[in-house]
A and B are shown apart, each in its own frame.
Chain A
Amino acid sequence: MLRYIDCIDAGTDFCPCTLAERKECIICPQLQDRNVCDCLNWKGTCMCQEFICNGLKSKKSREFKKFDIVETVKLREDLFQLDIKVTKGLARELNNIGSYVFLKREGDIEAYSTPSSIMNSDTVNNIISIVIRIVGPKTKALKEVEDKILVKGPYWNGIQGQRFLKELKNKSCLILARGVSAAPAVLAAKKVMENGNQVYVLLDRGRSTENFTKQKFKDLGCKVEDVSFFDRSGNISGENAAIIEHLLKKWGFKVVLSAGSDWFHRKMISFIRGLDKSINFSTVNNSIMCCGEGVCGSCEIINIRGERIRSCKQQYDPSEVFLKEMDN
């Protein structure tokens, strides 16, 4: 397989970033400590040229900005949706696969920055929708916000293996989702369908009767089925294994988006790889993120080649991360 190296920010308004100033650019060897042009993944601009023309300085980084909350909807005891009115530009930039922002309550210290996925970006009314599950201090703080909230973005690396979803045209894609991770899959489904693809969603009921995203997927025109993927011992139940196998045969999916925890990704990817080696995987990004700028290192993961990847910025091929041994 072709080595899959990508920086989600390469060639955007945020490139070159501060990593270039420190000779740590993910893509450009000239902006590392190797004085050669040898970039593996060309995305239409030369960050070295941009960096030098910008007076050897990085572009401005993202900053927190204050926006109005237009609505807060309680979905469950521990689950609520925030609709935030943002600028036209930010709404447009967040209307992409894998978009996320950092949220923070006004007055809280920087440590409360919480990475949060965009479930939908309404580019007509400039409203972004985010669903938060309350688990600890940061998300509890977000529950306290009233009419204003601080938003830092846009960020785009909330889904790994995006290339597979973006390149899909007039084909079909399977989404397997569970819990709050289903939120970014809604936006992904919308974007994938814009390219003439059909989307089939298997939604885990979890502790509720149905996942909060069910109606949203239906409104987009996806085929949706409620399931309970796992039996008591945490294995994919025989019934669901049969459903997935049947769907793979019938629909000939080229890409599967796994929207759950990392444990969920591992289960799903190894099961499906066992059935069909040609399918590519995208996964919701569950890394711990603090800066989102490739600097702090909290999001670092290691792939099967032993390469360290700062997953807030860098894309990887999920099958190279969630499969213990590659059999291809």
Chain B
Amino acid sequence: MKVVIIGGGWAGCAAAIQAKKSGADVLILERTDLLLGLGNVGGIMRNNGRFTAAEEMIALGAGDIFNITDRCARHKNIDFPGHKHAWLYDVTIIEPNVRRYIYDMGIDVFFEARAVDVSMDGKAIKGIYLHDGTLIEGDVFIETTGSTGPMGNCIKYGKGCSMCILRCPSYGPRVSISRRAGVEDLMGMREDGSYGAMSGSCKLNKDSLSKEIRDALNEKGVYVAQVPPEDVNLDKLKMKVCQQYALKEFAEQIVLLDTGHAKLMTSYYPLDKLRKIKGFENAKFEDPYSGGKANSIRYLSMAPRDNSMKVKGIDNLFCAGEKSGLFVGHTEAIVTGTLAGYNAVRTSIGLDPVELPVSLAVGDIIRYENSMKDTQEGIRKRYTFAGAGYFERMKELGLYTTDVAEIRERVERLRMEDFFRQRLI
């Protein structure tokens, strides 16, 4: 039984690991030369409700990736405006660590293998065509191509290609596999009703910052500087993907986090303005390369799905991560990816797919996002355990806790401890 995963970001890696644990042969197709996709430029884990979600997944027996991100953490339990107990993994070492883990499990990965089309048999996918015409056949498919770009979207809905980690000019554009299979994509909106959203953070080269800033980052993980009043731009917040960081504090202050590079919590920042700030005189962008001008555009390519992560209208296609909804974050991609990987294997051996219980945050967010996406209001929102509206909901429903024993108990009460460890085949 062969599971083919299209896109090797966090969602694809999580789906691959879970499908393998459930007993399938697994192949990941990744268009670039790196796994993790946007995970190569993120780093923030366990902030706010993400802590609960991570511990729920560990208790459910799907802690593989969280163990790696924890092990690769540069800073643990740090606070920054609006956010508590964040862990920051080191983006300069995370990818090879995950890659080794994936290889050690016996998962196959084809790099520089861009999926461009599908071969169909009625409503089922028979195989995936790569850019060079090779047909990759499989029994069940999981689309985790994310929602970023490609260049036409970044110029049409943003400020042009900013040369982000996905490197479209080098590796070719993202492709919506579900659309190729005949299912129209859903498109996220901004507050003003225009489509898409701009990524909300960029990265500066740490060595280009002053010694004072470098020392603070290395020691505490956080550094906050004031934006000169004439440069405060509140409008930029509305464009942002990351509504959990779209706070006034992030417009009036420069918040830096140490993820190996200095993560700057704003979409983009004109270089000449940035260099006026003390300690930033020599600042240089690391990601996106054109972070002085723009950032990537996301959420223009979501597949309609059910709560088991199956794509509606196609018999054997599942989806996860940003492809599956207005989810923001590594944790969110890992949660949805794990469920997609598990259910892909279940359905391929004739079992019904399962949903995660809504008494856990990881089950609730999948169901909640899906119901909200249908509304005019909901399509303008993003869904993350870390903030925006969803973290409030977690608190209201009593889902949010940092008490690990309590989380384990909740999972045990559902008789779901180590649920994801069972082999299905």
Contacts and interface: CB of A to CB of B under 8 A. Distances in A.
Nearest to A45: B169
Interface string A93-130: 00000000000000000000000000000000000000
Interface stretch (A35-43, A234-242, A295-303): A35-43
For A3, A42, A53, the residue with the greatest tally of chain B CB atoms inside 10 Å of its CB is: A42
B160 A37 contact: no
B300 to A, nearest CB: 7
Interface string B24-44: 000000000000000000000
B115 to A, nearest CB: 11
Nearest to B171: A42
Interface string B83-124: 000000000000000000000000000000010110000000
Nearest to B184: A36
Nearest to B131: A42
A259 B169 CA distance: 36
Contacts of A42: 114, 131, 172-173
A46 interface: yes
A55 B175 CA distance: 26
Interface in A203-250: none
Contacts of A44: 169
Nearest to B156: A30
A3 B135 CA distance: 12
Interface in A41-58: 42, 44-46, 48-49, 52-53
A177 B179 CA distance: 43
A52 B161 CA distance: 12
A46 B150 contact: yes
A28 B114 CA distance: 18
Nearest to B114: A42
Nearest to A3: B117
Contact of B155 (A3, A45, A49): A49
A2 interface: yes
A46 B161 contact: yes
B117 A37 contact: no
Contacts of B160: 49, 52-53
A38 B153 CA distance: 10
A37 B172 contact: no
B290 to A, nearest CB: 13
Contacts of A37: 149-153, 173-174, 300
B289 interface: no
Contacts of B301: 36
Contacts of A49: 151-152, 154-155, 160-161
Residue in A28, A44, A49 with the greatest tally of chain B CB atoms within 10 Å: A49
Interface in B283-305: 300-301
Contacts of A40: 116-117
A36 B173 contact: no
B117 A2 contact: yes
B185 interface: yes
B176 interface: yes
A80 B396 CA distance: 87
Nearest to A29: B152
Contacts of B156: 30, 35, 48, 52
Interface string A1-42: 111000000000000000000000000101000011111101
B151 A46 contact: yes
Interface string A45-73: 11011001100000000000000000000
A46 B117 contact: no
A25 to B, nearest CB: 11
B271 interface: no
B133 interface: yes
Interface string B293-322: 000000011000000000000000000000
Nearest to A42: B172
Contacts of A1: 133
B155 A53 contact: yes
B295 to A, nearest CB: 15
A91 to B, nearest CB: 29
A2 B173 contact: no
A45 B169 CA distance: 6
B116 A30 contact: no
A42 B116 CA distance: 9
Interface of A: 1-3, 28, 30, 35-40, 42, 44-46, 48-49, 52-53
Interface of B: 114, 116-117, 129, 131, 133, 135, 149-156, 160-161, 168-169, 172-176, 179, 185, 195, 300-301
Given A1-B133, A40-B116, 8 more contacts: A36-B176, A36-B185, A38-B176, A39-B152, A40-B117, A46-B161, A48-B152, A49-B155
14 contacts: A2-B116, A2-B117, A35-B195, A36-B185, A37-B149, A37-B150, A37-B153, A37-B173, A38-B176, A48-B155, A49-B154, A52-B155, A52-B160, A53-B155
| Shortest Cβ-Cβ A-B pairs, 3 listed | A48-B152, A46-B151, A42-B172
